[in-house]
Structure formats: C-alpha cells, structure tokens
Amino acid sequence: MFYSNLRNGGTILCYVLCLRPGVSLSKSVYQSPSTSLVKPNASVTLNCSHKIPRYDTVLWYKRSVEDTALNLIAYIYYKTPTVEPSYKGYFDVKGDGENDAFLHILKPRQAEDSGEYFCAASIHSGTET
C-alpha cells in the first residue's frame, strides 16, 4: 500500500496499481480501465486498443511509484506476444498488435507492483535480411 500527494494538492491511496488515464494525447490509443485498485494475488487485465493503419505492435510499460523510468514489460507484434525476461511469470500479453492487446497481471504480489501502466501503439521497425 502506498500514499502519495498529487501535484494539485490532492492525495491518493493505492493498494496495488494505478493506471494512466485512458486516452493518449493523440486520442488514437485507448487504455482501459483508466484506474484500478487490486488486492494482492488477484489477477487483473488491462486493455489497449487502437485503429491506426499500419501500426502492428502494442507495447506495455510500467512506471514504479518511486521511479520516473518507463520499463518495458511486454509487447505484441501482430499476434506474437513477448514478455520481457524479468517479467515472465508475473505478466502475460495476448491479442493483436493491429487492434486490441491485453496485459494480464497474473498475481500482483507486493508494493513493487504498484505504479502506472501505459500502453503504446507502434510500427515495427525491424529489418529482414
């Protein structure tokens, strides 16, 4: 559990995770739910959707409570999911990078799972030889 002061003078109390507001600045990528409070060991699923032509990848990031860095958790390229090695067993990703992707937080464990979760849509930039 953590307690934090917000910039506008308000306060927030979160048990496991807070999510970034549901719509990106471009209004082309949507994330839901916009906020969620989850008890330890209760799984939760986050949804990210977009309708951006030619964008084939959805990426999921986490910013911890006491950190400003965005850490890549997982991504889905077309229908191929990849979870970063340090997050395997704690997160799962499903869906389609061209439309909707889902991040499953399998078992939130401790305060270290608290934070803001972000999704982003992208065009895969890999080059084939």
For residue range 25-62, list pLDDT tens digits in order: 455 899 998 888 777 778 889 999 999 988 999 999 99
How many helices (DSSP H) and strands (DSSP E) are in the chain?
Answer: 0, 11
Residue ranges covered by each domain of the chain = 22-122
Q: How far apart are CA 129 and CA 101, in angstroms?
A: 28
Over residues 74-103, mean pLDDT = 94
**CATH number of this structure's domain 22-122:** 2.60.40.10
Q: Is 73 exposed, middle or buried (0-12, 13-18, 19+ CB in 10 A)?
A: buried
* Terminal CA-CA length for the chain: 49
Asked whether the predicted pLDDT for residue 10 surpasses 70, the reply is: no
Q: For residue 18, what pLDDT is reported?
A: 44
Angle at 66 between CA 50 and CA 10, to 5 degrees: 80
Q: For residue 45, what pLDDT is reported?
A: 92
Q: For residue 19, what pLDDT is reported?
A: 45
Backbone angles phi, psi at 113, to 5 degrees: -85, -10
Q: For residue 34, what pLDDT is reported?
A: 82
Q: For residue 15, what pLDDT is reported?
A: 37
Return the percentage of the chain with pLDDT > 70, whole number: 74
